[in-house]
Structure 1
Amino acid sequence: MFKHCKLCNITSRIVNTLASRNLNSASYGTDKADIVISGGGMVGTAMACALGHADYLQDKKIILLESAPEKKNFKLSERFSNRTCAISPATVSLFQSTGVWDEILQMRCQSVKRMQVWESCSDSLITFNDEELMNDLAYIVENDVISEAIRRRLSAISDRVEIQYQTSAKSYIIPGATPGHDDVDQNTWVTIETNKGQRIQSKLLIGADGMNSAVRKAGKFHVFHHDYKQQALVATLEVSGTSDNNVAWQRFLPTGPIAMLPLSNNYSCLIWTTTPGKAKYLKDLEDDSFVDAVNDAFWHERDKNSTVMSISHRYQEFLNSIFTDNQVIRQLPPTVVGVDPGSRASFPLSLTHASNYVKPRVALIGDAAHRLHPLAGQGVNLGFGDVSCLCRLVAEAVQSGSDVGSLYYLTKYETERQRAVLPVVTTIHGLHYLYSTDLSPVVLIRSLGLQSTNALQFVKNKIIQQASA
């Protein structure tokens, strides 16, 4: 009798255990997807939106993993955000193709028709603008506005893109990168385990999870990293002295560039690159003192090098004698009269670049692939460029009969994007060091170079084309 009861108890435990496992398997089983995007920031959501709108991908299962909760009932604040992007014409084209741009226009953005860049150690400057002032160089858009516009377009295609909110990848099994999983043939998919216990197998994993990318780490991508030991201070400024605030201003100081980008006729966004100590000092200043400090940074002349000034003035006269239409028109930036309370913030600056953007069934986009110094405002545009390129090539893969994770097409993506990104990264990295000193020989070289570039309209046009691509 005793043995019989004991046997019944053991059998009951086995049955309960199997039932429990079956229940867990039903709740957290293995799902299958064609494409999984890890990271729901601006670039990740733009990637999901572009893929969801692609004609050749409408029968594909696309999953976006977003660690944040769903944002509902968005209300546009009367106050401007201190986090903005300078959107290039190429990015506008991407947004237009998915309807995002129309959503942005229904909210708000500000066009940039002219840009003036100059330095504090001499009078040399360079200006960029369309000769007829008909075409916009860029658009200044708040990050929140971009994110909300993309979210609205994603909600319109909810049958094509599955967004899993409050969900993040806990671990990855990547062919050829994860220990014990060396098989990299085309039949091997990526496996993602989420924080909710779900397992997803995907033909293509897109890492859009930022500069500290877990996808990049799991894929064992080699990364170059450089800490600039600088911080970018941002704030929302109230300006006066302009009836049409559509000029982007940037001045190079020995401690780093300071830029003011238009948000409306009365407000601009400040991005001031400086040392960590100076950034903390500026954040702690009283509002009136901070306003004085910003105006001083744009207007003061105490860094002027008299020797360089004398040589550059003579060189400018020489340029004027050759290029008769080379009249340098210097404008003064608007006066800052106030700063929005609580809008001052700062973040560290660094360069991060992955040597490769792809591995079998894995692609990196945005900051996961490359993060650079903000002095040219090109970082997020490069990320959106990744979105355009990868979406186009994934669609081409499907159109040609390959699957979405075809290494041939992923390699084409890497080649295309590195040809576009590496020159920008190298140029900005070099400019950072070129303008981070007040040594007379260096100041002279960069001053004469800036004057020469400003005199050659075809060179400026090429620069504008590159920045717009």
Structure 2
Amino acid sequence: MGVHFVSWNYDQMGIVATLELEEECDNTVAWQRFYPDGTIALLPLNNKFSSLVWSTTLHHSKELLSLTEQEFIDKLNESLWRTSGKNFIVEESTKAFDQFMKVLNLSSTKERQLPPKIIRCKENSRASFPLGFGHATNYVMKGAALVGDAAHRVHPMAGQGANLGFGDITCLNEILGEAAYCGSELGSLLYLKDYETRRQRRNVPTMLAIEGLHRLYGTDSPPAVLVRSIGLQAVNALQPLKGLIKSFAAS
């Protein structure tokens, strides 16, 4: 289509795999662990399996892919359960903030949940792909439209890449339905431009938010750690805001 595509690489790889859990359970919680060099995300598939996306450096990804299955599982469980080094100032500040929220009857403190233990990878499910950011300046031209990864790429840390693509498809389907109902040709640029406007208004803010989170969680600088820790506490305590974020992410 000759569309200009703004992009940059993160110099990271995403390692994916289908994982079997040690125990069958009500597996409805997505897990993420953040480290300065990447993110580990577990996304539920059913009561016994979860999908892995492990974002990490190029060098570390090669190491992980070279491991045997059992070595890989051991390394994954260790990383999921490992307690990161804590900063005293950050710890005390977050405790003070939690006490303040309790005074307002908005405490976010709940019983701590623990990640599931992984026992194996589904055979031949381990793979990797390069991570980067990308966005097409235009999604459409007469007779053609871009959707999903052809139009935009985001870091997988927030799990929104697929949702953005599904949103594109839903919107384009509605637009084409409107064109057909009005007797216009399906490739009419007038209708396709409406698709582009709607989706860019939705996609761009989401992509910028994900990029901001990626940068915020990609550092172990104490001020950044403090900001994200207090931010998570606040969101977790303010149920209307939490519900709004969930609704936006799922739409």
TM-score range relative to shorter protein: over 0.9
Please state how far the C-alpha of 1:242 moved relative to its aligned partner: 5.2
Structure 1, residues 187-221: CA drift from partner, whole Å, max 9, x if none?
xxxxxxxxxxxxxxxxxxxxxxxxxxxxxxxx221
Distance (whole Å) between structure 2 residues aligned to residue 446 and residue 410 of structure 1: 39
1:276-318 Cα offsets, whole Å, 9 max, x none, are: 1111111112333222211121111133222211211111111
* Total equivalences in the alignment: 251
The aligned runs of 1:12-31 (5 Å cut-off) are none
Provide the secondary structure at the position in 2 that maps to 1:393. Answer: helix
Counterpart Cα distance in 1 of 2:123 and 2:2: 43
Hey, what does 2:101 align to over in structure 1? Answer: 319
1:334 to 116, 122, 138: 116
Shift of 1:223: 1.1
- Tell me the residue number matched to 2:37: 255
Query: 1:268 corresponds to which letter in structure 2?
Result: S
Alignment match, 1:283: 65
Structure 1 residue 345 displacement after superposition: 1.3
Q: Does 1:437 align with 2:219?
A: yes
1:413 to 190, 195, 200: 195
Deviation sequence 1:155-177 (CA, Å, 0-9, x none)? xxxxxxxxxxxxxxxxxxxxxxx
Q: Which amino acid aligns with 1:394?
A: L
Query: Where do 4+ consecutive residues of structure 1 move more than 4 Å?
Result: none
Tell me how far apart the structure 2 counterparts of residues 281 and 399 of structure 1 sit (CA, whole Å).
55
Which residue of structure 1 lines up, in the alignment, with residue 162 of structure 2? 380
Match of 2:230 among 437, 448, 451: 448
Alignment of 1:6-405 (within 5 A): 219-241=1-23, 243-324=25-106, 326-405=108-187
Q: Which structure has more RCO (C-alpha within 8 Å, separation ≥ 6)?
A: 2
| CA separation of 1:358 and 1:277: change in aligned 2, threshold 3 A | same
Structure 1 or 2: more helix by fraction: 2
Supply the distance in 2 between the matched residues of 1:423 and 1:394 (Cα, whole angstroms).
Answer: 24
Counterparts of 1:220 and 1:340 in 2: how far apart (Å)? Answer: 40
What is the Cα-based RMSD across aligned positions, in Å?
1.7
CA distance in 1, matches of 2:45, 2:186: 40
- Which secondary structure state, in structure 2, belongs to the residue aligned with residue 247 of structure 1? coil
Residue aligned with 2:114, SS: coil
- Identity among equivalent positions (%) equals 47
Q: Is the 8 A contact 1:323 1:455 kept in 2?
A: no
- Deviation, structure 1 residue 272: 0.6
Amino acid across the alignment from 1:390: L
- Asked if 1 retains the 8 angstrom alpha-carbon contact of 2:23 and 2:48, the reply is no
Shift of residue 399, structure 1, vs aligned partner:
1.8
Consecutive unaligned residues of structure 1, counting only runs of 5 or more, are 1-218
Tell me how far apart the structure 2 counterparts of residues 225 and 293 of structure 1 sit (CA, whole Å): 32
For residue 30 of structure 2, give the secondary structure of its aligned residue in structure 1.
strand
Deviation of 1:381 (Å):
2.0
How far off is 1:402 after superposition? 2.2
Query: Partners in 1 of 2:96 and 2:116 — Cα distance?
Result: 29
